[in-house]
């Protein structure tokens, strides 16, 4: 007898999990909070280059999972074995997968934001960036640093300031990569203001105004973008911690409700596409096992060495590094350039299609970094890779940029 599986989240985590659960004899429902899909890897670039926004969006049903029912709504909470939505709808479930991800200011769509609202937001911020004399970015994490580089490429003359709560940006980096970061920040004339925060909570793009910092200082700017994560969205379950992450066991199953699993929003691993794929596989197998009264399998992280983002972009065309040390077999990859001898890349560089660069993987015994590596990662800017998500660039004609 078919049972009910509900997946909360219409982003990468939810869609990848849904693809693995359809066709297995059960009814799969995916709850998305917006009626479109926006490729998160292009979020920063879209703000600085709003004319490219449509390339990052699927506004038709092409991204929907075939064989699953897709519902647009906002999860309000769990009541027994039912998911309650804000509009009063109730979705019964025999197993529920929380795949809600996280929020990061205007770099990601806000909860329930329509495509028209999202488009207007991107246009307003992008227009402000191109003409601003000063831009403030709140948050020195990977999103804020990437955004600073994208803004520099869109506006060569603006003063760009990253305001960081802690001692430095990307605080998880070791000394080697901190050195690379600071060198590139200096080369691109991007300032970092440490041990401070901006009092403003929402983005701003308009006439110059004073922004007050918690230290008491003020900065006059035309644009302010909060680019820090504002927490994960697992709170609707009533099972999440203060960060919105769901505590799970070795099966990626909630420790508070055996019928609830988490992909991309558990307290076990940070959210990265490479890790989400493995989590989706584990959770899909365990959901089916639960529904068949079979033993669950422990999750094995194929990228256990990866404790933070593998790559860091600082402008899509300017600079990227790949922290090869976090990939098995780590330092061995470096001996001839990561992961190939750089001479292997020359034919691609000379073919005229602009897909690669002779230094995309680093020189022999050198780190993969620079414009060549940026060219490599740029191939995924508007391409969904092995996620299998379709439809990017399918925004309705009336919303054409």
Q: Which of 329, 275, 324 is nearest to 302 (CA)?
A: 275
Position with higher pLDDT, 290 vs 339: 290
pLDDT at 338: 47
Position with higher pLDDT, 354 vs 246: 246
Q: Which of 377, 336, 376, 342 is nearest to 358 (CA)?
A: 342
Instruction: Report how far residue 217's alpha carbon sits from residue 210's, in angstroms, rounded to the nearest whole number.
Output: 10
pLDDT at 335: 47
Q: Mean pLDDT over residues 317-336, rounded?
A: 74
Global pTM?
0.90
Q: What is the pLDDT of residues 12-45, one digit of tens each?
A: 999 999 999 999 999 999 999 999 999 999 999 9
Instruction: Report how far residue 211's alpha carbon sits from residue 138's, in angstroms, rounded to the nearest whole number.
Output: 11
pLDDT at 359: 58
Residue 200, Cβ density class (10 Å: 0-12 exposed, 13-18 middle, ≥19 buried): middle
User: How many other CB atoms are there within 10 angstroms of residue 45's CB atom?
Assistant: 28
Residues 6+ apart with CB under 8 A from 318: 149, 152, 153, 184, 188, 371, 374
3-state secondary structure of 151: helix
Domains of the chain by residue range: 3-33+73-103+230-292, 115-226
Domain 115-226 class? alpha beta
Instruction: Report how far residue 136's alpha carbon sits from residue 367's, in angstroms, rounded to the nearest whole number.
Output: 31
For Cα atoms 379, 170, 369, give the angle at the middle one, nearest 5 degrees. Answer: 40
Q: Could you name the CATH architecture of 3-33+73-103+230-292?
A: 3-Layer(bba) Sandwich (3.50)
Instruction: At 48, list the tokens.
Output: 């600085």
Residue 176 pLDDT greater than 70, yes or no: yes
Residue 341 pLDDT greater than 50, yes or no: no
Instruction: At 222, list the tokens.
Output: 């035309």
From residue 129, alpha-carbon distances to 33, 126, 155, 187 in Å are: 28, 5, 7, 20
Q: Which residues pair with 75 in a beta bridge?
A: 85
Q: What share of the chain is helix, strand, coil (3-state, %, to 5)?
A: 30, 20, 45
Query: In the structure, what pLDDT confidence band is assigned to residue 153 with cuts at 50, 70 and 90?
Result: very high
From residue 314, alpha-carbon distances to 40, 81, 264, 304, 311 in Å are: 16, 45, 24, 25, 10
pLDDT at 366: 76
pLDDT at 282: 98
pLDDT at 353: 40
Residue 69 pLDDT greater than 50, yes or no: yes
> For the chain, how big is the Rg over CA atoms in Å?
22
Instruction: Report how far residue 332's alpha carbon sits from residue 28's, in angstroms, rounded to the nearest whole number.
Output: 43
Q: What is the pLDDT of residues 102-114, one digit of tens each?
A: 888 888 898 899 9
Position with higher pLDDT, 16 vs 399: 16
- Kindly provide the b/e burial profile for residues 7-26, where b requires at least 16 CB atoms within 10 angstroms of the residue's own CB: bbbbbbbbbbbbbbbbeeeb
């Amino acid at each position: 007898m078919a049972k009910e599986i509900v997946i909360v989240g219409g982003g990468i985590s939810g869609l990848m999990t849904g693809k693995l659960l359809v066709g297995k004899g059960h009814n799969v429902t995916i709850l998305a909070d917006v009626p479109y899909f926006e490729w998160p890897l292009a979020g920063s670039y879209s703000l600085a280059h709003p004319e490219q926004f449509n390339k990052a969006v699927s506004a038709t049903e092409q991204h929907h999972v075939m064989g699953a029912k897709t519902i647009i709504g906002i999860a309000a909470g769990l009541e027994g074995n039912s998911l309650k939505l804000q509009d009063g709808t109730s979705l019964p479930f025999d197993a529920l997968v929380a795949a809600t991800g996280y929020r990061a200011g205007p770099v990601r769509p806000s909860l329930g934001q329509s495509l028209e609202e999202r488009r207007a937001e991107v246009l307003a911020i992008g227009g402000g960036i191109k003409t601003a004399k000063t831009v403030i970015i709140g948050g020195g994490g990977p999103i804020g640093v990437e955004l600073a580089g994208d803004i520099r490429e869109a506006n060569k003359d603006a003063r760009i300031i990253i305001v960081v709560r802690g001692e430095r940006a990307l605080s998880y980096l070791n000394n080697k990569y901190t050195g690379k970061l600071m060198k590139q920040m200096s080369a691109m004339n991007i300032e970092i203001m440490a041990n401070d925060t901006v009092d403003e909570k929402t983005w701003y793009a308009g006439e110059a105004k004073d922004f007050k910092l918690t230290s008491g200082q003020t900065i006059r700017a035309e644009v302010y973008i909060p680019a820090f994560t504002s927490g994960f969205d697992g709170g609707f379950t009533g099972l999440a911690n203060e960060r919105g992450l769901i505590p799970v066991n070795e099966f990626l199953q909630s420790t508070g409700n055996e019928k609830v699993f988490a992909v991309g929003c558990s307290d076990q691993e940070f959210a990265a596409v490479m890790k989400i794929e493995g989590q989706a596989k584990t959770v899909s197998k365990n959901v089916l096992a639960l529904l068949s009264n079979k033993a669950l399998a422990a999750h094995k992280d194929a990228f256990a060495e990866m404790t933070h983002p593998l790559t860091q972009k600082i402008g899509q065309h300017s600079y990227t590094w790949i922290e090869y040390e976090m990939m098995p077999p780590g330092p061995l990859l470096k001996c001839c350039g990561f992961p190939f001898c750089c001479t292997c890349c020359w034919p691609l560089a000379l073919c005229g299609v602009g897909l690669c660069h002779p230094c995309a993987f680093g020189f022999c015994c050198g780190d993969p970094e620079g414009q060549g590596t940026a060219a490599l990662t740029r191939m995924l800017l508007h391409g969904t890779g092995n996620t299998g998500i379709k439809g990017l660039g399918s925004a309705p004609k009336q919303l054409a940029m």
